Structure 1
């Protein structure tokens, strides 16, 4: 199988290519440079694998949640490429991809992204017997102090939300923190890993049905809200 995956929902811009049993990827922490980087990354991977775009079987994309601009960019690129190639799209939760950054060991996983404006995007998972993920709750956006988690014997916490709100989140986790990484972001290689499973399960979509997930409609604080936060 040949599958190209795109993930630009956070500060990290990444692209991955599944070519048979091989996965190759490019990733760079590059806020506000995703639009200039993502297509050259894709072309570089295809050239390395000796493939043309028409050899692709599907396009996979991180559907969010995350930064509005980044999520829109990834979805638009995936739709455009898929339409041009007459290929399906596989959408994957960016939080689920982030969860695969956690160690492959016992314990639940909290994937948490700094959503700005005093909020986090969050979801909880556990690994299944086949290396995939099982969702333990729904994706949501909320203030970190309002986060409610299912019961677990221990937690692996991954994502920029931990880097920003570790103290607050620790109060919400009523179990030992087995590992924590606040310096990781959703990556296209994990989008690809999950997308291959979804593709073989028959969950690929027509390009026009590949939709972003934002979880909230408000993009930024108003001037009054920003001034109030400084008082």
Structure 2
């Protein structure tokens, strides 16, 4: 090969070198070379609140798909009944069943959970009281009434009674100092929320917290800033 190059004029030698480089580069990308695999996305379970349906997460689920999550890794559970007529503990069993189904279908050891309003309390009860915490990698609470809401005084449905400030249910749920173990927890809420009253009832001690000046409770699930932040935190690499 050295003789082949030496016997040619400079321009011809340069062309031959470029041709050889192209052949080598082509061989490196030949069939049999494994492409870089796409990043693995942890399955996400979406849990709605009182008087809601899985459709409340339409915009958010679409954003996760656009960010690369496979459709089969995204599941919005339909809780029944959705109007607060049964206690939150009953909803928590439905969350558990949905989470285990998602794990089984995807083969995942742990899932991420995005829960809105009462759904955040149902998720917490599953995690804290039904042994679900080891199954959850990250938990994003969106406008969860963790310390109750005075708006719940307007209704007498069992789940709404449990969401009243200082209810026996909430006292029990909030009694532990570190209820989430190694699960990474985020609380997203709006100071302008008129459904969770006071709005800072959505705060949780010891978790990552973000506020968004969204003018209404239900708009938290369609607000671009909230959606972007949710996708961002669930796309982060695991903590070392």
Q: Same fold (TM over 0.5)?
A: no
The structure whose RCO (Cα within 8 Å, separation 6+) is larger is 1
Structure showing the higher strand proportion among its residues: 1
Greater per-residue helix proportion: 2
Which protein is bigger by CA-based radius of gyration?
2
TM tier, shorter chain? 0.3 to 0.5
